[in-house]
Amino acid sequence: MALLKATKLSIVFGGLRAVSNFDVEIAPGELVGLIGPNGAGKTTAFNLLTGVYEPTEGQIEFDGKSIVGLKPYQITQKGIARTFQNIRLFADLSVLDNVKIAYHFHVKYGLLESMLRVGRYHKEEAEIEEKAIKFLEIFQLADKKDEIAKNLPYGEQRRLEIARALAAQPKLLLLDEPAAGMNPQETQQLMEMIRWIKNEFNLTILLIEHDMSLVMGVCERIYVLDYGSIIAQGTPMEIKNNPRVIEAYLGEEV
């Protein structure tokens, strides 16, 4: 059974059909890419899958159950986490607090215990801090744990955003242009990190990316979106040699 299945997914903004009949199926453990020219509707598709937008038509199933109509935080609780094309950290909080926040989807203490700081509160908060520091160690950010997130260099902010997404303990991780703004060396390091976190955390990953070296280097399958519709899917080699994909990226004359 597919972990994620989108069927005939569409959304209309004021008469503009931004995504149309979007069909994607991802099995547990896969690393899948979603590519397409600028304006093809890739981030809109991500926003549909994560509850930022509600589809005009179509169905989304995660782990065999519909998630259409759920709020983003409810979808995160179901097991889908994401990063954003434009980094969205809690900019004025510490590096450590950014990761700790993700764990609070799973706390068992209640509101009253939190306000009075009694009962399970101290034990669970200590456990959360310990887990968060371990994540920062994995992403080589432990020595920056007390720094304000917005003061980190760009590449470290990217790593922190991925660490925060993983701290939510997802089954499916959506990465929206994780290599945006990175130089070739940083992109190569990111490629190795994506492979590692997939295996280390037993994750299924769907990523949007413009850097074709990264997409071809890590993805097992690729979907191609153009004008809001899927025009091709297949292995990296099949996509690379697909005439319709070449036309979408380079134009019919070329």
Q: How far apart are CA 205 and CA 217, in angstroms?
A: 14
Contact criterion met (CB below 8 Å) for 147 and 94: yes
Which of 139 and 53 is assigned the larger pLDDT?
Answer: 53
Contact of 65 with 243, CB cutoff 8 Å: no
Mean pLDDT of the 129-154 span: 89
Task: Give Cβ neighbours of residue 248 (< 8 Å, ≥ 6 apart).
Answer: 36, 37, 40, 224, 226, 231
Is the pLDDT at 206 greater than 90? The verdict is yes
Least confident of 16-20, 85-89, 113-117: 113-117
Cβ atoms of 193 and 166 within 8 Å: the answer is no
Residues 174-193 have pLDDT tens digits of 999 888 878 888 888 888 88
How many residues are there in the chain? Answer: 254
Q: How many domains does the chain have?
A: 1
DSSP conformation class of 143: G
Give the mean pLDDT of 227-242: 93
Q: Which region holds residue 9: left if phi is over 0, alpha if psi is between -120 and 50, else beta? A: beta
Structural domain that includes position 198: 4-250
The yes-or-no verdict on residue 252 having pLDDT over 60 is no
State residue 39's pLDDT score. Answer: 85
Geometric angle at alpha carbon 52, from 76 and 43, rounded to 5°: 105
Q: What does pTM read for this prediction?
A: 0.86
* pLDDT above 50 for 253: no
- Band (pLDDT 50/70/90 cuts) for residue 234 is very high
- Band (254; pLDDT cuts 50, 70, 90): very low
Do 170 and 62 meet the contact criterion of CB atoms below 8 Å apart?
A: no
**Relative orientation angle of helices 95-103 and 121-138, to the nearest 10 degrees:** 120
> Is the Cβ–Cβ distance between 71 and 21 less than 8 Å?
no
131 or 35, greater pLDDT: 35
Q: Give the angle subtended at the CA of 51 by the CAs of 48 and 54, to the nearest 5°.
A: 60
Q: Is the pLDDT of residue 99 over 60?
A: yes
CATH number of the CATH domain containing 23: 3.40.50.300
Question: What's the mean pLDDT in 85-90?
Answer: 79
Tokens of 58: 């179509």
- Average pLDDT for 23-39: 94
The predicted structure's pLDDT at residue 118: 63
Confidence band for 86, pLDDT divided at 50, 70 and 90: confident
Lowest mean pLDDT among 9-23, 31-45, 121-135, 219-233: 121-135
Of residues 18, 21, 60, the one with CA closest to residue 39: 18
Reported as half-sphere exposure (CB side, CA atoms, 13 A), residue 114 has a value of 7
